[in-house]
Structure 1
């Protein structure tokens, strides 16, 4: 991106700028003075279509309803499109129709009219007007598309050669002064000053060759390709370095100049080859990996360099270091500084206030003419101006254009006049030149793409840039070039789609090159200096100051530090130092994001929907299990901080918050009080004693979730090894989830993390008992492990207290010392699980097991009869007479169908009609909720006919055991299933209520239907509670 681009191209619409929407006059009610509103760019949807205001559109989108005196919010969009159609297609039939409605549709409400917050007027004309407006708005998009197509066709129509030639002259006039200034930048060392007028010709012919290549190869007929300013600083650094090395070795100016020309020619060829490789292997994205603050610091130095070089050229002084700015303090320098500053201000003001393409050219011509007028008034000849340092003196003798190549100082194809060692010393600068030119070329093509409606072949245009640089290099006139996107877009917007434009630019530049004299000797030094200062001010302002609003504060600091390092260490050292700084900042920022992204959950639950009493029991142990979710790449920069956070969490798990405070309640009392508040369960008397004993015996778990970890280095693995050993020493069992990806598990094992593999829930066996009535070892409600069924016949709900049922003596749960069972669950090693849900389910099963042992809840049941389900719910909500639960169940079962499922059998499929709802009587179901939107579409597009969505493709999964109600939401809403249900136990039995059964139930026994509705309401409430907690925790797979 060149300085010319930055001073002439409006900001792209993608950056919030671009062609600004212009105020369009509109009619006000009653013929009052016209108002205005900002119309969006033609073809852009407005807020009435999308539900939000589009940039630049009228904020309320309102109009006066015809014949009602009411103002309705919808037609700011209509008027915007009317005006756009009026401009684009004044003869359109739809435009005329819209204009008729516009007469009665002002853009703002007349005084006293109905406001949007008021009720709609009931007049009959309201519907007529609304209907007509809706019809017009529904067809406006088709008309817009047709008009846009006509505009595109017109713009692609053959451009008259005369028009293209005129714009070619305009582009050439804009390019010539810049090329002269570029020559002054590259060859700024005093050793090259006698040759500057001749060296300018190299820039003219180089740009002409670039332009001709673009005319022949670019797919854009309006493309402008010239020598660019992006790589000039590296070339200037090369020329200055070679001059210094040649002087140090006692070589003359001819050797320094020849070596510089040859080095730049070879460098341009190499840059072209590198650009071709970038295009061939599609490496443009890699080139753009350069940190923006580093590029900004470099470009800031480019701006400073242009300012310093321009002032030095204008005032005939040397400005190489910060201290050398004192050279401007002389009377002669200050005298020459005044016209340079005034000329710079004139250029800046012209670009700020005038948009005509000839405005800048006119100002530049005026500056030169004013100088010569002043010279004549003072009685100076051109020779006098040269003697006083106001004009460059031409090189001695006349040289025809074919003699310019003698400046290479190569005779008889021998390199005797070349200081080869000085050229080889520029390899480091060549690497930087390749990076910045490739980066700049990529940005140029991207900037042109933003202004074009059609997609550009990015790689093809990069090939064009590469070929042009190779050809200019091989012909011995090479200076790095690319698109001048400001002039390219200017030509495109003017409707010039002809290659005669580029041919004319190249012809003018070749003509200047072929002239037997140099035009530089007729232009004052301050003119070139003012151009350079102008370029520098524009670049420095953009990157050193205005970038403050586009970067973070630290990035902005990196930008300025890069600028300072380039000033102090040179280009290579400064850019390398900037990259190191940007890398260190990235390391710090990424480590901070990992630390801030570490999420600690104290209430995360598994996806198992458990019974009411189990949920209440699990609330008692809520403080005993914490989940830590990691993300990103765990590395040396974040491992230590993550470990410290985990130490704090583990300390909180085992600490006594009442320690040191005699009046504070014990931790068990706090846990019970919180559980009672969340569940409504009362913990008093014997139940309180049981709960306290269970809390003492319950294990403590810290679940470490690695699902979102994308890798780990050795430092991170060692840190986790130390953490796991510390947790085990504290009596906290680490549960490691989702290690089998990105090499996490082998790395942890290599660093000594003690791990014991656990597949949870355990493998389910075949159902016991004839007829499939027996239960497998899998708990239907999610309490796996086989322990619930191993005790023989399960107690009935009308048995005595759980302590009596389990035959657990009172002393057994009162005399246990604190921490007596903290080793439960295998506290000698960390336990590894395939995923987070398995780890959570394991922890919950251990707590349910503890709760059963201490009488806090009933054992998980492998089967729950309908009578038991009804009784369990009606005990909490006595909506029927005591003892009527069995009668309700006996009546209800007559309207239900029984169905037996085998493991893996699908109960319902995604998008299937919800014609039944189900009550799980035995076994378990896994319900996979579907992800809606683009992600779901992508998943289903892979196998649209399968009908079954995998668990991974589902948004969330829930396990439903005996007593759970499934499919009721879709059933009652009469919509297709948004999930799928699969049998997840060896065998399951469900009771199904069909729509026919529901109709019969409502007609014959509505009282039983009311009881069923209460049961469904409580069951769905429990489901929603689990879903809300899982959703809040951000379940894996979201």
Structure 2
């Protein structure tokens, strides 16, 4: 049904929208109407022109406006009466309910004329809406209680004046706030109210409507959940049961039969059955009023101006308005949020983007005018708006007709509620209850996590058992707590396998491939706070590995129960007096690795003969590229502890991509030692920080190579002795045999080398080749360091967001350069620049072709070097998490 404007983004809501608005048996929107609704530009394609009907005559057009305007009025007028009884549900207002009902109808009429004039949608329908209804009721009840508790005795005129001035003033101020929100284009910010809290609030609206309807039918005061005990007598059952059954009946029928006439027909059926029963039983209106079926007659004939007689400034007590500020603030957010959802629902059905900020201003101005005329909060009634749109009504006259009909009923001299049974209005309130309760309590479970669904229930129960404001505040607190828990449990840290972009000689690359497991790289995401530091510490323990001998040595030198490396798993074995036999067993030759978080179990799946074996951790790299911030608790309880644990076990802690403010925070709390940032040595396990992850990994790899491969500067030694070609021979892979004298030999020396190889020296900063330059061969780095990068001018050409020079790789001793471009027979893709003084071998393409004919075995060594380098690069890329 959802005729009151509250919407739910649940699977059930989407299903109902598709059935109700896409498949209703309504007239087709003509091509001419489609053009007008889209600013005069026809959007009807040639393929769909056979659906368009002939332009209707003026008589048919006005008949349609009258028909759909009447249908909307038939639905909306009873709702306005029901809403009035909800706002003024306190028993002190009952003698004045006839005037207050008409005041609510005036407010609905004002909203309608405002939306008809100001909205960008010519078919817009706006009325007093349920979103702010409960807050108005809470404010009215609060003022009554405050006046009763005051030392001064107040007459009823003062109660009415203070209540009405506060309600209309709150409405006008709400409108001003909504206009400002739209002007500042803050419509998206008000949607930050957690959806589960809104769901609990909408469910409470339904319960509140049911409770108000039951109180109206029974004639008893039902404000708290404990007051329902008063309804156990037989008379209350007779008075309430028909209205509740009728409301459930309307909900079932409107769900099963998708047609725009169903709801009005159900309403007319209820009235027909009631008045038919009165005629059959011979019950008069006086008898029905006496028993409680119909509200009593007012004391005098009603006049239009009588609805404003209670606005007496002399009876107004402004000192009670400030107490309603919390309710007003909550009402602002809820109404703004609900209005944004209404606009979104209309936008979805219209298949046309709407300016949410402009529409929010329309809602704001409507509330300003409504408040100034003594009315109450309102917004779009999205179901009626979509109903008018789907019916092909694109005239503002439909809204004007609804306004005129509501105003005509207000100006009538009789009270509507004195002739229409209470169960009729209560059935509408029950319909609202069932619709909202099914939407937000039953069907919402399909579209929410369990924790969010519990917040819906928590918010709803707090509102029912305590009050509205407490439910919203505690619901938001619960949603915030749920976010913290979910954020902590989410994967904020993960292990990745990455390598630097340094292209080294083949022997070093093979060594790094086997020992790269010694570098543990962890990527951190999001904001690191006190809740996530524990998870980070646990992940570090999980991924850092030590040898068994080191762990046994730790156990013999100190108690693990006091160590920062102690784990619950290990200590639990000690507490229960169990000792693992594996701890005393000899370490297998092909093993020797232990995980810090499971010290009693060998990692049997790790094997030394694996292609990429697990290794004892030497470096822990923390990548902060996706980290947005950090708090002091995470620094003190997290990273200081991690540093202490790693240093004690000879593991270097390395930070990469540290934002400046995070680096300052870490330095402030002594995560870095004084000399950490000023040394390039890998000794004494320093804690270091690097600008990028690539540079950090390069530093770690240099450290591994210094430990794994004995440092010997053969390049410098051979160059100083003048044996230049012997250096190239050392860098190339071994051949299949041959002699230097034989024309087919595979050795590179001073005889064969100069035939095909050119030697070049480059100073630091000198370009070797440029991006886009012609390819005439490839290079082998004899000694030095070369940066390969994409220049900023070419980087920008890739599209928006790409700026600056992009580093591709770095090539060092023994690495090949330009080989890929040569094989692809294209221009150079990047620029190569000497990062240090370099000595480089250059093999031209023509010389390579000659070598294949004159010295095929030597050419095969070059081909093997290229193929082996590329194959290893493919393996490295496949293993790495890029």
For the aligned pair, the TM-score class normalised by the smaller chain equals 0.7 to 0.9
CA distance in 1, matches of 2:350, 2:750: 71
Within the candidate set 304, 307, 310, 1:404 is matched to 307
1:809 aligns with: none
How big is the shift at 1:340? 1.4
Alignment of 1:301 onto 2:204? yes
Stretches of structure 1 that go unaligned for 5 or more consecutive residues are 23-39, 42-85, 90-142, 681-694, 763-784, 786-823, 944-948
CA shift in 2, pair 1:629/1:901, >3 Å: same
How big is the shift at 1:299? 1.4
How big is the shift at 1:451? 2.4
1:46 aligns with: none
1:712 aligns with: 630
Contact 2:677 2:688 in 1 (8 A): no
Contact 2:493 2:539 in 1 (8 A): no
With normalisation by structure 2, the TM-score equals 0.82
1:678 aligns with: 611
Write out aligned runs for 1:227-246 (5 A). 227-246=128-147
- Residue-pair matches, total: 815
How big is the shift at 1:206? 1.0
1:1020 aligns with: 870
Contact 1:347 1:360 in 2 (8 A): yes
With normalisation by structure 1, the TM-score equals 0.70
CA distance in 1, matches of 2:824, 2:779: 15
CA shift in 2, pair 1:940/1:10, >3 Å: closer
Contact 2:505 2:731 in 1 (8 A): no
1:838 aligns with: 695
Alignment of 1:205 onto 2:106? yes
1:886 aligns with: 747
CA shift in 2, pair 1:226/1:892, >3 Å: farther
String of CA shifts for 1:873-919, please: whole Å, max 9, x gaps.
542xx556476322699778756777766655666666878776554
String of CA shifts for 1:921-960, please: whole Å, max 9, x gaps.
44333345899xxx988963468xxxxx7445x7xx3222
Within the candidate set 540, 565, 585, 1:662 is matched to 585
Q: RMSD over aligned Cα, in angstroms?
A: 4.2
Contact 1:705 1:736 in 2 (8 A): yes
1:600 aligns with: 495
CA distance in 1, matches of 2:746, 2:221: 103
How big is the shift at 1:88? 11
Residue 286 of structure 2 aligns to a residue whose secondary structure is helix
Contact 2:502 2:811 in 1 (8 A): yes
1:738 aligns with: 657
Residue 288 of structure 1 aligns to a residue whose secondary structure is helix
String of CA shifts for 1:108-143, please: whole Å, max 9, x gaps.
xxxxxxxxxxxxxxxxxxxxxxxxxxxxxxxxxxx9
CA distance in 1, matches of 2:634, 2:373: 56
CA shift in 2, pair 1:644/1:1010, >3 Å: closer
Within the candidate set 948, 958, 962, 2:809 is matched to 958
Contact 1:294 1:579 in 2 (8 A): yes
1:391 aligns with: 294
Contact 1:401 1:514 in 2 (8 A): yes
How big is the shift at 1:531? 0.5
Write out aligned runs for 1:806-817 (5 A). none
CA distance in 1, matches of 2:398, 2:299: 36
Alignment of 1:263 onto 2:169? no
Write out aligned runs for 1:6-45 (5 A). 18-19=17-18
Contact 2:786 2:836 in 1 (8 A): no
How big is the shift at 1:286? 1.8
CA shift in 2, pair 1:1008/1:649, >3 Å: closer
How big is the shift at 1:1023? 1.8
How big is the shift at 1:842? 1.8
Contact 1:155 1:495 in 2 (8 A): no
CA shift in 2, pair 1:895/1:624, >3 Å: closer
Alignment of 1:327 onto 2:230? yes
String of CA shifts for 1:658-679, please: whole Å, max 9, x gaps.
77233323688679x9565437
1:925 aligns with: 786
How big is the shift at 1:709? 2.0
Alignment of 1:631 onto 2:482? no
String of CA shifts for 1:322-345, please: whole Å, max 9, x gaps.
232222321112222332133113
2:563 aligns with: none
Contact 1:918 1:993 in 2 (8 A): yes
2:325 aligns with: 427
CA distance in 2, matches of 1:616, 1:658: 31
Within the candidate set 640, 643, 655, 2:534 is matched to 640
How big is the shift at 1:703? 2.6
CA shift in 2, pair 1:828/1:1007, >3 Å: closer
CA shift in 2, pair 1:737/1:844, >3 Å: same
1:537 aligns with: 434
Contact 1:701 1:735 in 2 (8 A): yes
Stretches of structure 2 that go unaligned for 5 or more consecutive residues are 32-42, 554-582, 595-605
2:598 aligns with: none
2:340 aligns with: 442
Alignment of 1:755 onto 2:673? yes
CA distance in 1, matches of 2:187, 2:781: 58
CA distance in 1, matches of 2:237, 2:471: 32
Residue 709 of structure 1 aligns to a residue whose secondary structure is strand
CA shift in 2, pair 1:655/1:587, >3 Å: farther
Write out aligned runs for 1:770-809 (5 A). none
How big is the shift at 1:354? 2.6
Query: Of the two structures, which has the highest relative contact order with CA contacts closer than 8 Å and spacing of 6 or more?
Result: 2
Q: State which drifts further: 995-1004 or 261-270.
A: 995-1004
How big is the shift at 1:147? 4.2
Residue 885 of structure 1 aligns to a residue whose secondary structure is coil
Residue 626 of structure 1 aligns to a residue whose secondary structure is strand
CA distance in 2, matches of 1:920, 1:153: 78
How big is the shift at 1:362? 1.7
